[in-house]
Amino acid sequence: MKITVVGAGNVGAAVAQRLADKELGNEVVMVDVIEGMPQGKGLDMYESGPVEGSDSRVIGTNSYEDTANSDIVVITAGIARKPGMSRDDLQTTNAGIVKSVTEQVAAKSPKAYLIVVSNPLDVMTYVAMKVSGFERSRVMGMAGILDTARFRTFISMELKVSIEDVTAFVLGGHGDSMVPLPRYSTVAGIPLPELMDQATIDRLVKRTRDGGIEIVNFLKTGSAYYAPSAAAVQMVEAIVKDKKRILPCAVYLQGEYGIKDVVVGVPIKIGKNGMEEIIQIKLTPDEQAALNKSANDVKANMAKLSL
């Protein structure tokens, strides 16, 4: 397996490090426009291999020639959010970056699977799919796993229980209109509404929606990267190991959930063929309305693109 990470900033470097530590690729390539940065970080990671017991070769480069024939490409390129900036504020700048990146990636690795991490996530996933011309099964956005991980974390903190026993689902766009689903969230199989009152659930749902900006406000000069990188690597692992994981990911819908022509987060089966199936769970009228609103918000932002 050859895996390329586009972007050697905080998220990209964390992704590359996790990929190497887990030996998911025998070759991990990190490409960035800043001269010397990917080379330095890549060599540093490679030199951690003897300590970690990893034989993954990590290469840093400024040239897409070195990414040729990658099996999987993780796109993290783009500017990060700053305090007071919404994900949507990033759209114009990052759309241009992701467009350029995808053109080069698709030309060098026409059979690759693309995992998009750049924000605004759903719109950038659409950009990557349209620019690459790849079928929708090969272009997926990461955010649902990250949002779900945040929801699971907050549930674990609230109930003081092991994170391992908490499962959850967050659907919709990666933004203020995301749709956490308490009915499908459990602790050791016990539905969340049986363990806490509605006011507490509502508070945790709001914190999940605000999870990204909470970290931005703490850091002041950057945004989250440990959890986003872990989420992206979980998707890579599901493909590399053909794990058939059921994970919430941003994909292009063509009628599923009654939604068409928009990228939005839904549960998918992910394995060696990328998105192998969209899992359609039953939603209440309120949940469906929330998902429709989230999809419409993404579609409105997609309409602003000039590709």
pLDDT tens, residue by residue, 267-297: 999 999 999 999 999 999 999 999 999 999 9
Query: For residue 79, what pLDDT is reported?
Result: 87
C-alpha 181/C-alpha 15 separation (Å) is 28
In Å, how far are 53, 141, 206 from 89, measured between CA atoms? 42, 18, 21
Residue 249 has pLDDT above 80, yes or no: yes
pLDDT-derived band at 30 (thresholds 50, 70, 90) equals: very high
Where does the pLDDT of residue 306 fall: very low under 50, low under 70, confident under 90, or very high at 90 and above?
Answer: confident
* Prediction pTM value: 0.96
Residue 159 has pLDDT above 80, yes or no: yes
68-99 b/e with 16+ CB inside 10 Å = b?
A: eebbbbbbbbbebbeeeeebbebbeebbebbb
Confidence of residue 87 (pLDDT cuts 50, 70, 90): low
For residue 48, the model assigns a pLDDT of 98
Q: What percent of the chain has pLDDT over 70?
A: 98
- Do 247 and 238 touch, CB atoms closer than 8 A? yes
Contact between residue 136 and residue 251 where contact means Cβ atoms under 8 Å apart: yes
Residues of the chain with pLDDT > 90, as a percent, come to 91
Q: What residues does CATH 3.40.50.720 cover in the chain?
A: 2-143
- pLDDT for 145 beyond 80: yes
What are 277's strand-pairing partners?
269
**Residue 262 pLDDT level (bands cut at 50, 70, 90):** very high
Q: Is 174 assigned a catalytic role?
A: yes
Structure confidence at residue 222 (pLDDT): 84
Query: What is the SS3 assignment for 75?
Result: strand
Query: Annotated catalytic residue: which of 87, 138, 150, 174?
Result: 174
Q: Tell me, what's the pLDDT at 185?
A: 96
Average pLDDT in the 163-184 region? 93
Task: Looking at the structure, give the CATH architecture of the domain made up of residues 2-143.
Answer: 3-Layer(aba) Sandwich (3.40)
Q: Give the per-residue pLDDT at 218.
A: 96
Q: 183 pLDDT band (50/70/90 cuts)?
A: very high
141-176 burial by CB neighbour count: b if 16+ within 10 A, else e?
bbbbbbbbbbbbbbbbebeeeeeeebbbbbbbbbbe
Fold (topology level) of 144-302: L-2-Hydroxyisocaproate Dehydrogenase; Chain A, domain 2 (3.90.110)
Q: Which of the 8 DSSP states describes residue 235?
A: H
Mean pLDDT value across residues 111-137: 97
**Amino acid 88: pLDDT:** 66
- Residues 210-217 have a mean pLDDT of 93
Q: Which part of the chain has CATH 3.90.110.10?
A: 144-302
Per-residue model confidence (pLDDT) at position 25 = 97
